[in-house]
Chains A and B, each alone.
Chain A
Amino acid sequence: MNEIATIQNPTAEQPLSPWQLFWRRLKQRRIAMVGGVILVVLYLVALFAGFVAPYSYDRQDRDRFFHPPTCPRLSGFRLVILRYEQLPGTFVYRAVLNDTKPIHFFVRGDKYKLFGLVPATIHLFGTGDENHPVYLLGTDQFGRDVLSRLLYGSQISLSIGVVGILLSFTFGMIIGGIAGYFSGWTDTVIMRLCELIMSIPALYLIISLRATFPPGMSSSQVYAMIIIILSFIGWASMARVIRGMTLSLREQQYVLAARALGQTHLKVIVRHILPNTFSYVIVAATLSVPYYILGEVVLSFLGVGIQEPNASWGNMLTAAQNTEYLRNYPWLLAPGAAIFVTVLAFNFLGDGLRDAADTKS
């Protein structure tokens, strides 16, 4: 034939796999990458909370209730912190000029357990001097460092989001896949159940579920309980969507081919049908994590979730409900800001994932 035709084919390209395409599209969305980076930082910090936090979450400084945030200053080339003095009879503090102490890094401080396992005493920063505390976000009504509690609280609030999602979405996907695949009675029963659960406004259902648990539980029990409750709410909506997708996916030829090869129903669902729902599931998961985090926050805020003295972003905000506190000590709202940033980052990332997965645009 014609050599030129075979050599000069300007439209031949090495095709990319769907995942590579997806990843490339995702990298182009800067907002999503920003969100992703923020989340990575947040989760890393949460992982090393004990190290990054200058103090333990339940360390009370009885001389410094409602201490305002202290900002480190530059003195020469070193970071120093000022000492504040309490005006007697009030919770107002005044800085004492020239009474400073340098901030060191990798100091010895309160005992903690890294990852809950490894005992350690080294903290990222501090002064090592009890009279010159570093309260970057001030203290609360019990004299506890807000930043430290924020960091310890992030461990709970952030992890509940992810664990809750994993649990409920896995469950939801399997149930939804089964419902859509088998149809008939199984489908009807499961869908009615889902509809039932979804008809109850979320928080009302959460409270009802909370009521079935006894009031006094250990902190790890409370943690597990919250996850169970939140997962119970979440699986239904995922199951419905997956069921819808399964209904159309099971008509695909490769499903028939798998069955013709002798695959069992369950294998077909798990290996052939469900993986095709991943692009939706990943986006939905990322956009749903904020709701799980908020679920824990609300429960703890209302006093029925994580209990004192453990820190969670929710129960830290309870103090802020007092308008007197709120007006005079606004740093108590710091957990609210942390929640906001987290939710924002998840939304950025989720939006970017959705755009990257949407092959139509």
Chain B
Amino acid sequence: MWSYVFKRLLHMIPLLLGVSLLTFLLMSLAPGDYFTALSQNPQISQETIIHLKAQFHLDQPWYVQYFYWFKSVLHGDFGYSMAYKIPATSLIVQRLWNTFLLSFLALIIAWGIAIPLGIWAAVKKDSWIDRACSLIAFVGLSVPDVLLSLLALWFAAATGWFPVGGAQSALYDFMSPAQQFWDRAHHLILPAIVLAASDLAGIMRRMRSCLLDTLRADYVTAARARGLGEGWVIYKHALRNAINPLLTIFGYSLAALLSGAFIVENIMAWPGLGRLTMEAFFAKDSYLVVDCVVMATGLLVIGNFIADLLLAWSDPRIRLK
């Protein structure tokens, strides 16, 4: 098993490298840069611009720029954000943490609701519960994130129960730690629910179909034939096997969450990585965009890695080979 883990880890490094290279290349193809707008400003002299450009290596070909970028990243320094005028590292770390919080909470909500519902629907196949779950799943799968976020915004504005965007209130700094915690939670909950909602439907359907498939297997009939009670058969024998295919879609779930977070962050003004990417995009801050994309990819790759670990641990066929 450890060789499996080690191989997967080794695999991640060239992947992240490749992604950073690709993104860098794409950004270098972008016409104009941050200084294009600046050079329109008559108050800034041409020399200043040339000087600044040289400082950020923006006058060099893209592979040279990449080299410098890579070198500083290895030192944990993500460069300097020209748009925000602060070192990019602290900006990115903070936004990354926010995106992670949002995605993690959404993950827990989505899986926490979907798995029990899926099991229930499978066990009570063809009952009204099953049909209701199917319907909710279908509708849930079809509602686009964009619409759901907008509806959530409308809901928040109309009822006033939830804040309309942001991660903390204006008076955050004056609150006690406990109040700060609740304030953040209050801001986090609606975006997290919106994000979880679209994923939930798909997971629930998969859980139901995986469990139904497993219940048809021979070893389930054999277990019943040995006289095991129905509950024991379902929850110990069948479920344990049905979980495995779900762990494989855990990775896809994560990818969908991170993409979905992009939308939710931008619409509901949650200050995460997705929102930062758009801000950097509009400011033509290429380095920052690259940093964001690499960070998001890193999150996804690590998430997949954890999913693979879980799968390997859960399925002895993988663990022992």
Contacts and interface: CB of A to CB of B under 8 A. Distances in A.
**Chains A and B directly touch (beta carbon < 8 Å):** yes
Interface of A: 192, 195-196, 198-205, 207-212, 214, 290, 294, 297-298, 301-302, 304, 314, 317, 320-321, 323, 326-327, 330, 333, 336-337, 339-340, 343-344, 347-348
B150 A298 contact: no
B301 A343 contact: no
B40 to A, nearest CB: 14
Given A202-B255, A203-B263, A339-B147, A208 B293 contact: yes
Most chain B CB within 10 A, of A201, A317, A333, A348, is at A201
Interface string B210-246: 0000000000000000000000000000000000000
B144 A208 contact: no
Contact of B157 (A203, A302, A327, A333): A327
Categorize the interface residue count of chain B. 35 or more
A208 B141 contact: no
A212 B19 contact: no
Nearest to A293: B144
5 contacts: A204-B274, A207-B281, A210-B281, A326-B153, A336-B150
A201 B296 contact: yes
B157 A201 contact: no
Interface of B: 15, 18-19, 22-23, 26-27, 29-32, 138-139, 141-147, 150-151, 153-154, 156-158, 164, 255, 258-259, 262-263, 266-267, 274, 277-278, 281, 286, 289, 292-293, 296-297, 300-301, 304
A298 B259 CA distance: 11
Most chain B CB within 10 A, of A192, A208, A294, is at A208
Contacts of A343: 141-144
B157 A340 contact: no
B89 to A, nearest CB: 19
B259 A347 contact: no
Given A200-B296, A202-B255, A203-B274, A326 B146 contact: no
B281 A211 contact: yes
Contacts of B301: 199
A202 B142 contact: no
A199 B263 contact: no
Consensus secondary structure, chain B interface:
helix
Nearest to A294: B144
B144 A340 contact: yes
Most chain A CB within 10 A, of B151, B158, B262, is at B262
Contact of B262 (A201, A304, A321): A201
Contacts of A195: 15
B142 A333 contact: no
Nearest to A346: B142
B278 A200 contact: no
Given A321-B153, A344-B142, A196 B147 contact: no
B19 A200 contact: yes
